[in-house]
Chain A
Amino acid sequence: AQSVTQPDIHITVSEGASLELRCNYSYGATPYLFWYVQSPGQGLQLLLKYFSGDTLVQGIKGFEAEFKRSQSSFNLRKPSVHWSDAAEYFCAVSAGGGGADGLTFGKGTHLIIQP
């Protein structure tokens, strides 16, 4: 069975600084990987996804993520954070490409933005 580990429960970053959120997965075959963001009282919004091809994927809101098979990682990055980026971030893995199979989520990383 697949699993996802997000090692950082909370991360605090100053506005304008760069950001990296860590995600490690466990899955026997080629994984389908996702990053979602959840603002308070809201549902989950997809930031980006990786299915195959280029290991550096671009998403919405200026986010990007890099798939590293050798490290079983799919870290999320942003060069300069904005106060509106404060939210909960979830990494997820699917066996069937998300739409064809349910997602397994990590426990999330709570991002705090300092002014």
Chain B
Amino acid sequence: EAGVAQSPRYKIIEKRQSVAFWCNPISGHATLYWYQQILGQGPKLLIQFQNNGVVDDSQLPKDRFSAERLKGVDSTLKIQPAKLEDSAVYLCASSFGEAFTEAFFGQGTRLTVV
């Protein structure tokens, strides 16, 4: 079974530029999550989708971050404009979306803002 795919693996941009990350979840998984992991910290949930609808985006900085999940499958996360403090690993995860099930994580995209 293929896992959660993310691209790119690494990205370096200058502050105030824009950047986009892509995630393809495990086939059949209804729920998709984006997490931000700053160095030395645990992942923080940014946004959760159920199919193509947003379930929770309470911790998403909406003035600069946006995310979409068209057709309820793959998803993109965008940052515009980027700030230095956005340097982090962005992890995508997916699950069947039911209780008593687990989330599976991709390898993440490491973003460096200079």
Contact = CB atoms under 8 A, between A and B. Distances in A.
A43 B105 contact: yes
Given A49-B102, A51-B100, A98 B42 contact: no
B108 A43 contact: yes
A43 B42 contact: no
B21 interface: no
- Among B91, B96, B105, the one with the most A-chain Cβ atoms within 10 Å of its Cβ is B105
Contacts of A36: 105
Given A49-B102, A99-B103, A105 B91 contact: no
A107 interface: yes
A29 interface: no
Interface residues of B, number: 27
B105 A102 contact: no
Contact of A96 (B42, B43, B99, B106): B99
Nearest to A43: B105
Interface in A67-105: 90, 92, 96-105
Nearest to A102: B45
Contacts of A41: 107
B41 A108 contact: yes
What is the interface residue range for chain A against chain B?
20 to 34
Contacts of A103: 43, 45, 103
A99 B26 CA distance: 13
A98 B95 contact: yes
Contacts of A104: 45
B42 A97 contact: no
A46 interface: yes
A106 to B, nearest CB: 5
A42 B99 contact: no
Nearest to B48: A102
B44 interface: yes
Nearest to B9: A41
Of listed A34, A102, A106, residue having the most chain B CB within 10 A: A102
Interface of B: 4, 31, 33, 40-45, 48, 56, 91, 93, 95-108
5 contacts: A36-B105, A51-B100, A99-B96, A99-B97, A103-B43
